[in-house]
Structure 1
Amino acid sequence: MTLVVDIQRESAEPAPDDEDLSRAVAAALAGRRDQAELCLRLVDEAESAALNHRYRGRSGPTNVLSFPCDAGLPDCHLLGDLVICAPLVAREARAQDKAVADHWAHLTIHGVLHLLGYDHVEDADADIMENEERAVLAGLGIADPYALPADTDTMSQ
């Protein structure tokens, strides 16, 4: 696979190194694309909120935004741009009691799948996309991010 990932770090929040981010991108593309180029921009909440408002009409930051490239060229390998809000990823991981690195991998894979045309607007499409995410994450040794945590209270009753 020929993969070019331009990683732009615009947030002071700690984030995975370039190798880990590129590994998640490559895992999402495996079996789907032989060649790809994309930009992965790691931003703060202000930039995420501004982009979310401008392009989605929604207020506040969001964890990942995907901007697919529609060059219309038959041999174009440019997928598009991903924007990930680093502080929000860390906060979500803590709130969901997930390893931060695993959440980064999940959101990177989620964004790449959006660049490839997957979406989750309709329930059936969400099921397809989530199953793809689960499979890619499992290949990286990462647990199902959609699994509900075990209810420990029911065990003691």
Structure 2
Amino acid sequence: MSLNQLSLSLQFGTFDGVAAHRAVLPRHKVTRWIRHALATDAEITVRIVGAEEGQQLNREYRKKDYATNVLTFDYTQEPVVTADLVLCAPVIEREAKEQNKSLEEHYAHMLVHGTLHAQGWDHETSEADAEEMEAYETDILQELGFEDPYAT
């Protein structure tokens, strides 16, 4: 299988426990996970942030006053996907524990999820769109060797 090209900037904010998150997110893994979700070449910045920065960005850009797992800022989709993905480390860590997943597994899921959003996928438009996006995420993650992220 031929994967699309990715120019990746991987950034970590300042927050408690950042070293553990850096250890789970080596550049080669992040690159692999994102490339498997790309339908075209891309330039993507991934920023891992703490709760305060995550909440501030969510409040400023989505008018929701809480930290969320992933925020996708998509700028262009053609000919090259250009986007920023902001993942909130404390939220990702909490959700991984709640869902009995490894931190790596949940990061892979959220990076695939955010990358699909950057390409125009949207699970909030309809139930059918949500089901289609979840099925595609599941296929990608299983291709990467992970379990179905939506299995209960």
- How many pairs does the alignment contain? 142
Report if aligned partners of 2:43, 2:83 keep a CA contact under 8 Å in 1.
Answer: yes
Q: Which blocks of at least 5 consecutive residues in structure 1 are unaligned? A: 149-157
Match of 1:116? 119
* Alpha-carbon RMSD: 1.4
* Correspondence for 1:41 among 9, 25, 47: 47
Displacement of 1:78 in angstroms is 4.2
Q: Which blocks of at least 5 consecutive residues in structure 2 are unaligned? A: none
* Correspondence for 2:88 among 75, 85, 106: 85
**SS of residue in 1 equivalent to 2:11:** strand
Match of 1:8? 11
**Offset from partner CA, 1:23-55 (integer Å, 9 cap, x none):** 1111111xx11x211111111110110010011
Q: Which letter maps to 1:69?
A: Y
Q: Indicate yes or no: 2:137 matched with 1:133.
A: yes
Displacement of 1:22 in angstroms is 1.1
Q: Indicate yes or no: 2:57 matched with 1:58.
A: no
Structure having the higher Rg:
1
Percent identity, aligned pairs only?
A: 37
Q: Indicate yes or no: 2:37 matched with 1:28.
A: yes
Report if aligned partners of 2:81, 2:119 keep a CA contact under 8 Å in 1.
Answer: no
Structure 1 length as normaliser, TM-score?
0.85
Task: Measure the CA separation in 2 of the matches of 1:143 and 1:41.
Answer: 25
Match of 1:143? 147
Report if aligned partners of 1:11, 1:86 keep a CA contact under 8 Å in 2.
Answer: no
